[in-house]
Amino acid sequence: MHEWALAESILSTALNAAEKEKIKKIKEIVVGLGELQQVEQDIFEFALGELVKDQPEILKDVKIKIKSEKSNFVCNNCQNHWSFDDLKKGINEDESEAIHFIPEVALVHSRCPKCGSPDFEITKGRGVSILSIKGVK
């Protein structure tokens, strides 16, 4: 399941960052969850909770906060802005599934709803990331 792989990646990345920064105990991880990734948040949170149980002592009692971010797109041709809800109106289920796994696929399957240009950027809500890690050195 995609959410489990993302959760594993978040924990692995946090552990690597802690090692680089010589953090002995991670107290909090803030995760950014972009709407375009279409992650099932309840499954993602459950996966994090389960996976953290089998992690090293450095992650014992860590608090994981998730901040959702709405997606935004901007057309490089007409400067129109639109949302993921607007984008979903123009794609089918298979295209939506492809975007779930690789958000940049939206650039292939979509056009500006105002001018029809394929030249646009994803400006917010792209994927999953670690926004911050708090710990004790």
Three-state SS letters, 21-33: CCCCEEEEEEEEE
pLDDT digits (tens, 9 = 90+) for 24-36: 999 999 999 999 8
Q: In the prediction, which pLDDT does 56 show?
A: 92
What percentage of the chain exceeds 70 in pLDDT? 99
Average pLDDT score over residue span 1-26 = 94
Q: In the prediction, which pLDDT does 1 show?
A: 57
Domains located in the chain, CATH noted: 2-70+125-136 (3.30.2320.50), 72-124 (no CATH)
Query: Is the predicted pLDDT of residue 72 greater than 90, yes or no?
Result: yes
Cα 50–Cα 8–Cα 22 angle in degrees, nearest 5: 100
Which pLDDT band, with edges at 50, 70 and 90, does 121 fall under? very high
